[in-house]
A and B are shown apart, each in its own frame.
Chain A
Amino acid sequence: MASVSEMYDVGWEEMRDKLRKWREDNRRNSEQIVDVGEELISEHASKLGDDIWIIYEQVMIAALDCSRDDLALTCLQELRKQFPDSHRVKRLAGMRLEALERYEEANKHYDAILQDDPTNTAARKRKIAILKAQGKSTEAIRELNEYLEQFVGDQEAWHELSELYINEHDYGKAAFCLEELMMTNPHNHLYCEQYAEVKYTQGGLENMELSRKYFAQALRLNNRNMRALFGLYMSASHIASSPKVSAKVKKDNIKYAAWAATQINRAYKLAGRGTKETKYSVKAVEEMLESMQITMS
């Protein structure tokens, strides 16, 4: 089996830089991290200097994700030797227990950290992750809500909570979480679009109008967000075909829908150029838009 450096013709510095980039982007491409990191650690450890410790941590987590307990244990042992009293390393040990599904022991680990340091957010979040892994969504939601009362600025937690609510079909509360995120990240088109999708799923005229507004907002922030474009089209179409709206509202929404349809068609025609595989999509989208016109008028 060829080594990574052979296959991609890269030196150890490039491998190290790649790992750093993946860390900074918070990517979960664990198989790749394991491939690159394992080789880097086993063959170039001495050249890495102090970087090696954060690399051990990164590779260990990736190894757990790929069921490579052997590699995870190696990394953990090196980290334990270097940082014997560290809570950060204890948390990694807990994660390893989670990976082995020894949840009771993992919880004890995290409880011990919290006894020592009640403000340790990482340990609290791991406990919630365990509840999620065990399928205990209600408890996970309750714990996460309690956590957020204390750490109200934790965006990752708000987003996690919104996902938990979506999976429980509790769209009202999911929307609330996304509102928090939109307030603190007004330029993030993804939060706008997700909020709009939740409102769309909730249904009803008022939610549909909100949904359309936020799809439009997402498009203003990123005019290539395809979901937002489809969302604008579908929500405007739904409003236009509702018997409860005034003639003016109907007319306006038909305009919005028509605009969105043109944009969608244009985007697909551009995408379809040169590739024969996407011809299905182009034709399908044309038909889709036509069939919806019929239901709208």
Chain B
Amino acid sequence: MLTRCRDRRMRVCHFRVGTCAPLPPSHTVIMGEVELSCRAYVKMYLHACLYPRGSINGLLLSSSSAEGAVCVTDCVPLRHSHLPLALPTQVALTQVDAWCSQTQQRIVGYYQANACASDSSPTQCALKISDKIAEQFDGAVLLMLDGSKMPPDYRVPPIVMYERKDSRWILKDKHMIMLRQWEETRAIASQMLEAGDHALLVDFDSHLDDITKDWTNQKLNAKIAELSSPPNGNI
């Protein structure tokens, strides 16, 4: 059956976005702050663009152990169909866990984009998986991609973030969400979409359909790194 989903469109939102200036060496990290790297954002974005007609989700990873702040340095795209069905997600979580312990990373959060572009509220499935992640990591975050805020000319990160307080997921203060070099990140995401690079993205669903496909997306990571300007601190 053919159902049409809206283009993921955009709206203005207030986030603290970094400028292109390099980080001063004495930058102190604020308690409860969450930083989203270029690589993590671009892959999430491409995942959403690769499957625009359905819900998608994935895991957020961190390779840093900075105290007080959560630095999302990477993400692993998981599903693009039948999100509530448990088996592929369980297999994925165990494999990603194993990979993380080999590579000094940890799972720090979860992202999802809903099929209905105008609805960015977390589903039962999103809450369940995020709860599981929060059991293992205190500062876990739940990130919803807001499809209504993603047209070609969007200005601000189309994301809504939740954090866990008193066993509930509540909206995180936008000012505590940091995207360094946002303009550049946005440009890279758009450029890669234009070039059709989203077709290279592998999520766990497509890995299970063909296990020669690499769900760590090394190729895509390399492309993103290539397109980034010489590093000013983390990207």
Question: Is the CB–CB distance between A278 and B211 below 8 Å?
Answer: yes
**A129-B2, A132-B3 in contact; A280/B86 too (CB < 8 A)?**
no
The complex places the Cα of A94 from the Cα of B25 at a distance, in Å, of 60
Total chain B interface residues with beta-carbon distance under 8 A: 40
Looking at the complex, which one of A226, A268, A275, A288 makes contact with B94 (CB distance below 8 Å)? A288
Q: Name which of A45-53, A77-85, A161-169, A246-254 contacts chain B.
A: A161-169
**A283-B98, A291-B98 in contact; A156/B214 too (CB < 8 A)?**
no
The complex places the Cα of A227 from the Cα of B207 at a distance, in Å, of 10
Question: Is the CB–CB distance between A99 and B116 below 8 Å?
Answer: no
**Chain A neighbourhood of B132, CB < 8 A:** none
**Chain B neighbourhood of A198, CB < 8 A:** 85
A43 adjacent to chain B (CB < 8 Å): no
The complex places the Cα of A198 from the Cα of B84 at a distance, in Å, of 9
**Chain B neighbourhood of A284, CB < 8 A:** 94-96, 98-99, 102
The complex places the Cα of A195 from the Cα of B143 at a distance, in Å, of 30
Question: Is the CB–CB distance between B2 and A95 below 8 Å?
Answer: yes
Question: Is the CB–CB distance between B87 and A288 below 8 Å?
Answer: no
Question: Is the CB–CB distance between B214 and A197 below 8 Å?
Answer: no
Chain B residue nearest to A156 in the complex (CB): B1
The complex places the Cα of A246 from the Cα of B104 at a distance, in Å, of 41
**Chain B neighbourhood of A166, CB < 8 A:** 82, 84-85
Chain B residue nearest to A137 in the complex (CB): B116
**Chain A neighbourhood of B5, CB < 8 A:** 133
A36 adjacent to chain B (CB < 8 Å): no
A25 adjacent to chain B (CB < 8 Å): no
Measured between C-beta atoms, what is the minimum distance from B153 to chain A in Å? 14
Question: Is the CB–CB distance between B86 and A133 below 8 Å?
Answer: no
* CB-CB contacts below 8 Å: B213-235 with A: 214-216, 218-219
* CB-CB contacts below 8 Å: B98-155 with A: 98-99, 101-103, 116, 118-119, 124
**Chain B neighbourhood of A65, CB < 8 A:** 2, 4, 53
A-B contacts, CB under 8 A, total: 113
**Chain B neighbourhood of A156, CB < 8 A:** 1
**Chain B neighbourhood of A288, CB < 8 A:** 91, 94-95, 97-98
Measured between C-beta atoms, what is the minimum distance from B121 to chain A in Å? 11
Looking at the complex, which one of B86, B90, B214 makes contact with A278 (CB distance below 8 Å)? B214
B88 adjacent to chain A (CB < 8 Å): yes
| Number of chain A interface residues as a range | 35 or more
B209 adjacent to chain A (CB < 8 Å): yes
The complex places the Cα of A201 from the Cα of B87 at a distance, in Å, of 7
Looking at the complex, which one of B119, B124, B219 makes contact with A277 (CB distance below 8 Å)? B219
B187 adjacent to chain A (CB < 8 Å): no
B6 adjacent to chain A (CB < 8 Å): yes
Question: Is the CB–CB distance between A133 and B116 below 8 Å?
Answer: yes
0/1 string, B26-44, CB within 8 A of A gives 1: 0000000000000000000
Measured between C-beta atoms, what is the minimum distance from A199 to chain B in Å? 10
Question: Is the CB–CB distance between A278 and B84 below 8 Å?
Answer: no
Measured between C-beta atoms, what is the minimum distance from B127 to chain A in Å? 12
Question: Is the CB–CB distance between A201 and B1 below 8 Å?
Answer: no
The complex places the Cα of A99 from the Cα of B53 at a distance, in Å, of 13
Chain B residue nearest to A98 in the complex (CB): B4
**Chain B neighbourhood of A125, CB < 8 A:** 1
Measured between C-beta atoms, what is the minimum distance from A93 to chain B in Å? 14
Question: Is the CB–CB distance between A230 and B116 below 8 Å?
Answer: no
**Chain B neighbourhood of A98, CB < 8 A:** 4
The complex places the Cα of A135 from the Cα of B208 at a distance, in Å, of 29
**A169-B124, A281-B95, A281-B215 in contact; A230/B82 too (CB < 8 A)?**
no
Interface residues of A (CB under 8 A from B): 28, 61, 64-65, 67, 95, 98-99, 101, 125, 128-129, 132-133, 135, 156-157, 160, 163, 166-167, 169, 194, 197-198, 200-201, 226-227, 230-231, 234, 267-268, 271, 275, 277-278, 280-281, 283-285, 287-288, 291-292
Q: Could you pull out 17 A-B pairs where Cβ atoms are within 8 angstroms?
A: A95-B4, A125-B1, A135-B116, A157-B1, A167-B84, A227-B208, A268-B211, A278-B214, A280-B99, A281-B215, A281-B216, A284-B94, A284-B98, A288-B94, A288-B97, A291-B94, A292-B94
